[in-house]
């Protein structure tokens, strides 16, 4: 029997009516969406497809099929067999002041875990992980697949951009950030293509996050995994889409109204990350890093229990072992060795921060009730710390340093330094 002819019009009509797509139809869509030229579908049709998915959802089988098709639309990184239980990564749905990855990846590498972290750029109020790292002179986010393998083998971690061969379909889908129903598929396909075996997903919600309510964040988490509540973290070994990809997925819920840490920007967030690696970071940032890291240490059986794992993570920030991994990583990714050492000793002298500073003061006595990160980040975007469109160029020097904590008393004192 001859195979039926597949076209985008039938697929769109089918999904728009709420019908379930066949594996062959999903595979065809991913194949055509991955093409740079001569594709049978255009970007507007891809957008229509994603909107149909958002409105009518996907069945678990469809989601697994789409994710697997996206994963294998390009190269899947191959690692030594003995690494299969130690390949880990973290992904966050994002928020203001999120520099967690910069600290977490090298801290995990201290314990022998392998962290080939494929990160993204920011399209919103502040830059993404790659934008932050590019504020370090010489740092190269684009690395070949061979070079990624070399860095991970020698150092234990890298933080790189997606190569053109890794999950190419993801690049088009990920650009449509507002279609939240496709975020899980995009994230998982990219992580699976990197060969990850255990993934911790930080599901952020609140005014300072991309997902505004806990309900929506939980719904997204349920599309990725089935989970149980353990304090503020959701830990699972029962996996839907992840199981199909051979990944153990851990989901963690984090409320985000205030920024993570005390800085917002690009270079200034690297400064705070370096301070944290040297044991001098803000408590909230250290807590998030150590709890997410503890999930991975426990899941890979490096630690016997969560409490032990959290203590192990904190130790890497106190004894400078995570800082040393970060220094070696950035050297491998293009930073001059002398400059890298100087950065770890005195980041304010190395990073190019804004020379013009404005101190914003309170004009009355009182108590800081809440620090809302989103309005601050929107101000920074107007000054080119973030993007309105993919083509926008960032000014890495622009940033805000928050000088007070929630609950602090103020006597006509400083609040922010811009």
Q: Reply yes or no on whether the pLDDT at 236 is more than 60.
A: no
**Cα distance between residue 239 and residue 247, in whole Å:** 8
Catalytic status, residue 383:
no
* Mean pLDDT score of the chain: 84
pTM for this prediction? 0.85
Residue 298 is encoded by which pair of tokens?
């426990």
The alpha carbon of residue 288 and the mean position of all alpha carbons in its chain are separated, in whole angstroms, by 13
Catalytic residue among 177, 212, 243, 372: 177
DSSP of 272-315, one letter per residue?
A: HHHHHHTT---HHHHHHHHHHHHHHHHHTTSSSSHHHHHHHHHH
For residue range 181-203, what is the model confidence (pLDDT) as tens digits? 344 555 677 788 888 889 898 88
Q: Which residue reads 């293509």 in tokens? A: 193
Q: For residue 324, give every residue at least 6 positions away whose Cβ sits within 8 Å of its Cβ, in sequence order, or none.
A: none
Q: Which of 15, 68, 90, 91 is catalytic?
A: 91
CATH number listed for the domain at residues 81-163+174-348: 3.40.1030.10
Q: Residues 158-177: what's their mean pLDDT?
A: 78
Identify which of 195, 214, 299 has the alpha carbon closest to the alpha carbon of residue 249.
Answer: 299
Q: Which of 119, 186, 258, 299 is catalytic?
A: 186
Please state the φ and ψ torsions of residue 41, each to the nearest 5 degrees: -135, 155
Each domain of the chain, given as residue ranges in start order, spans 8-72, 81-163+174-348, 353-417
d(CA 66, CA 23): 8
**Amino acid 335: pLDDT:** 98
According to DSSP, the residues that pair with 369 across neighbouring strands are none
Sign of the alpha-carbon dihedral angle for 330, 259, 253, 184: negative
Q: How far is CA 84 from the centre of its chain?
A: 22
The C-alpha atoms of residue 145 and residue 375 are separated, in whole angstroms, by: 39
Domains 8-72 and 353-417 belong to one CATH topology: no
> Looking at residues 267-295, what average pLDDT do you find?
96
Instruction: From 217, 290, 228, 306, select the one nearest 256 (Cα to Cα).
Output: 217
**Is 190 assigned a catalytic role?**
yes
**Res 414 pLDDT > 50:** yes
In the annotation, is 231 catalytic?
no
Q: Position of tokens 């804004």?
A: 354
- 408 noted as active-site residue: no
The answer regarding whether domain 353-417 maps to CATH 3.40.47.10 reads: no
Return the pLDDT at 232: 28
318 burial via Cβ count (<10 Å: 0-12, 13-18, 19+): exposed
Active site residue 291: no
State in words which class domain 8-72 has.
mainly alpha
**The pLDDT of residue 345:** 96
Question: Of the listed 114, 125, 190, 327, which one is catalytic?
Answer: 190
Which of these is catalytic: 89, 131, 170, 275? 170
For 128-154, how does the pLDDT look when each residue is reduced to its tens digit (9 = 90+)?
899 999 999 999 999 999 999 999 999
CA 294/CA 93 separation, integer angstroms: 19
């Amino acid at each position: 029997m001859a195979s039926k002819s597949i076209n985008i019009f039938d697929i769109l009509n089918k999904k728009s009516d709420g019908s379930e797509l066949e594996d062959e139809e999903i595979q065809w869509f991913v194949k055509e969406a991955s093409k740079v030229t001569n594709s049978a579908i255009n970007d507007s049709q891809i957008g229509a497809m994603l909107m149909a998915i958002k409105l009518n959802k996907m069945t678990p089988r469809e989601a697994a099929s789409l994710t697997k098709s996206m994963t294998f639309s390009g190269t899947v990184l191959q690692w030594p067999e003995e690494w299969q239980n130690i390949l880990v990564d973290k992904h966050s749905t994002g928020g203001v002041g999120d520099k967690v990855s910069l600290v977490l990846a090298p801290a995990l590498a201290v314990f022998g875990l392998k962290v080939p972290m494929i990160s993204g750029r920011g399209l919103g109020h502040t830059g993404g992980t790659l934008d932050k790292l590019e504020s370090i002179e010489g740092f190269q986010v684009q690395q070949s697949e061979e070079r990624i393998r070399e860095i991970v083998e020698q150092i234990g971690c890298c933080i790189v951009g997606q190569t053109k061969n890794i999950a190419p379909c993801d690049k088009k889908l990920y650009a449509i950030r507002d279609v939240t129903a496709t975020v899980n598929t995009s994230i998982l396909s990219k992580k699976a293509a990197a060969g990850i075996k255990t993934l911790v997903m930080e599901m952020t919600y609140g005014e300072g996050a991309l997902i505004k309510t806990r309900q929506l964040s939980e719904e997204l988490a349920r599309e990725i995994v089935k989970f149980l509540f353990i304090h503020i973290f959701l830990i699972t070994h029962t996996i839907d889409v992840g199981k199909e990809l051979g990944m153990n997925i851990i989901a963690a819920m984090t409320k985000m109204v205030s920024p993570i840490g005390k800085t917002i920007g690009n270079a200034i967030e690297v400064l705070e990350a370096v301070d944290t690696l040297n044991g001098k970071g803000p408590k909230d940032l250290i807590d998030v890093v150590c709890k997410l890291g503890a999930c991975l240490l426990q899941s890979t059986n490096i630690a016997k229990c969560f409490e032990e794992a959290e203590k192990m993570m904190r130790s890497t920030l106190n004894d400078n072992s995570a800082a040393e991994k970060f220094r070696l990583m950035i050297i491998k990714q293009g930073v001059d060795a002398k400059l890298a050492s100087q950065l770890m000793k005195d980041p304010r002298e190395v990073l190019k921060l804004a020379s013009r500073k404005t101190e914003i003061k309170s004009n009355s006595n009182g108590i800081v009730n809440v620090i809302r990160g989103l309005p601050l980040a929107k101000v920074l975007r107007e000054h080119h710390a973030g993007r309105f469109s993919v083509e926008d160029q960032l000014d890495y020097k622009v940033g805000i340093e928050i000088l007070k904590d929630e609950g602090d008393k103020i006597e006509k004192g400083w609040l922010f330094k811009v």
